Chains A and B, each alone.
Chain A
Amino acid sequence: MTDDIFYSTITELNTRLLAREFSAVELTQAFAERLGALGPRYNALALPLTKEALKSAKVVDADLKRERFRGPLQGIPFGAKDLLSVAGQITTWGAKPYASQKFDYTATALTKLEQTGALLIGKLAMVELAGGGGYRITGASYFGPGKTPWNTDYWSGGSSSGSGSAVAAGLVPFALGSETSGSILTPAAFCGVTGLRPTYGLVSRYGAMALSWTLDKIGPLCRSAEDCGHVLQTIAGGDFKDPGSAGKGFYYTPEYHREWKELRIGYAPVDFSDWADERARPAFQEALNVFRRIGVTLVETKLPDFPYGAMTGTIVAVEGASIFEPLVASGEVDQLADPKQAAGFREALKIPAKDYLRAMRIRTLAQQEFRKLYSDLDAILAPSRFGPSSNISDPLDGRGPEIPKDRPPGMTALIPAGNLMGMPALSLPCGFAAGLPVAVQLCGMPFSENLLLSLGKEFQARTDWHRKRPPVG
């Protein structure tokens, strides 16, 4: 096997597995060794699960020998954010107070992957408690600051930090992450991989750490939009164990996309001319041009005017503080690596119910306005993050562009807005700024994943940013 396998897509690996170029055991061994050797370099590895994966790989090889095919993920190794439980294994949620925590059940998303023959080779590092207390340092993790493989002085993004860097460095072909407000899109953008935040309720959260019952989503970080489609098809579906489950499945059908010329994609020119980091503007402009060449109609638009940041901040703070109230009461919250997080959880317990309910009622108003907005649009295109990653020693308070009150904000609030509305989003690598990856996102109506993935696949057929390899060595 050559190094090429570490940067192959799921489809490519599956083709070679079926052609018997290598066995599932050999593939698993190769990725597990690489994850064990290089994972610590990026603070990406939480827990290796090599022994268990190799045992399952033998079963996959036996199935393949008997021509029992279970789909494109059969025999493909992968990693999962350490907020997903695996029965009998340590699940830290990235936080010292939970360093020895074990559950006796496995997360539904992982069970579904296991049933299709995918092989979990390790749990991946994350920001402690998914950053729910409001983290201000990159080192807010039991595993240390996540580092992007493009330059280890720079942050991988969070909170699915290990999922982003492990896929980027070719340590796993794909990984599961989670998003409450930006935790898939940010590491996908900063690590140069393709990330999909599914519609709220499409993927079961059973067995995942809860931070915000009304915002949490589980989704994949992969090498391509097509790979995201394959993984989503496997992990999506109704689950009575998840009260937020939409009871819907997902079938990846990129071949049935609508004519590109029929599609209307909203964007805000000010994002590309003013709010994006100057170093990233050429890459974002070129991404816009690629979509023009695809043939979609780009339509100037703006988000309905709501205080999205304040809404998300209030909802995550209150729901998270309720979930982690025992941690605060025990005093163990002070073991978190970032004291700002401990303070955030403590103070959030004092937020009045009227503020939380006001945020949730405004959320209803915003949903109504988004329905109107999308009656004329199929998706919104914007930078995933408005610039490249920051140095790991920089504080995180000042993330994002400063928008003067008299200027149009463009799509700078699309991450909190999209999460509040339960909308799916796909992050696509689109170039580099200062040697670090940057990306654009497509955000669509709930359950429009096939549309986003089809567009993403077409974008990636015309570009090769998703194929770039970091200097891993």
Chain B
Amino acid sequence: MKLTRRTVLASALPALAVAQTPPVPAAPDYLAISTAQYKRNAEALAKVAVPVETEPAFHFKP
């Protein structure tokens, strides 16, 4: 097979295109982000001293 400049260029183009494409940033790991947030919440709650007689709030009357 005779190699011309055109065929060489054509075979190299896909590689060039790949090389010129900026790297796609990895999608954020939303599960990990959510887990970390809930963990931070739990840690903040753990710092509050809760007397043993305290019941959960279920009524919001004045």
Contact = CB atoms under 8 A, between A and B. Distances in A.
A31 interface: no
A134 B34 CA distance: 8
Nearest to A362: B48
Interface string A327-338: 000000000000
A310 interface: yes
Interface in B31-62: 31, 33-35, 37-38, 40-42, 44-48, 50-51, 54-58, 60-62
A200 B60 contact: yes
Contacts of B47: 307
Interface stretch (A56-64, A116-124, A179-187, A350-358): A350-358
A403 to B, nearest CB: 14
A446 B61 CA distance: 7
B50 A358 contact: yes
Interface string A111-143: 000000000000000000000011000000000
21 contacts: A201-B60, A214-B58, A246-B61, A307-B41, A307-B44, A309-B44, A310-B42, A310-B45, A314-B42, A314-B45, A317-B41, A339-B27, A339-B30, A340-B34, A344-B30, A346-B31, A347-B31, A351-B42, A359-B41, A362-B45, A364-B54
A363 B35 CA distance: 22
Nearest to A423: B60
Interface string A307-325: 1011101100100000000
Nearest to A447: B62
Contacts of B48: 306-307, 358, 362, 365
A343 B50 contact: no
Given A311-B45, A358-B46, A358-B50, 18 more contacts: A199-B60, A306-B48, A310-B45, A314-B38, A314-B41, A314-B45, A339-B30, A355-B38, A359-B45, A360-B57, A362-B45, A363-B57, A364-B55, A365-B48, A422-B60, A446-B60, A446-B61, A447-B62
Nearest to B31: A343
A342 interface: yes
A445 interface: yes
Which of the listed residues B47, B55, B60 has the most CB atoms from chain A within 10 Å of its own CB? Answer: B60
B38 A361 contact: no
Interface string A245-256: 010000000000
A367 interface: yes
A421 B45 contact: no
A347 B56 contact: no
B30 to A, nearest CB: 3
Contact of B56 (A201, A246, A364): A364
A172 interface: no
Contacts of B62: 445-447
Interface string A26-47: 0000000000000000000000
Contacts of B55: 361, 364
Listed from nearest, the 6 A-B pairs whose CB atoms lie closest are A422-B60, A360-B56, A343-B30, A310-B44, A363-B57, A307-B44
Contacts of A317: 38, 41
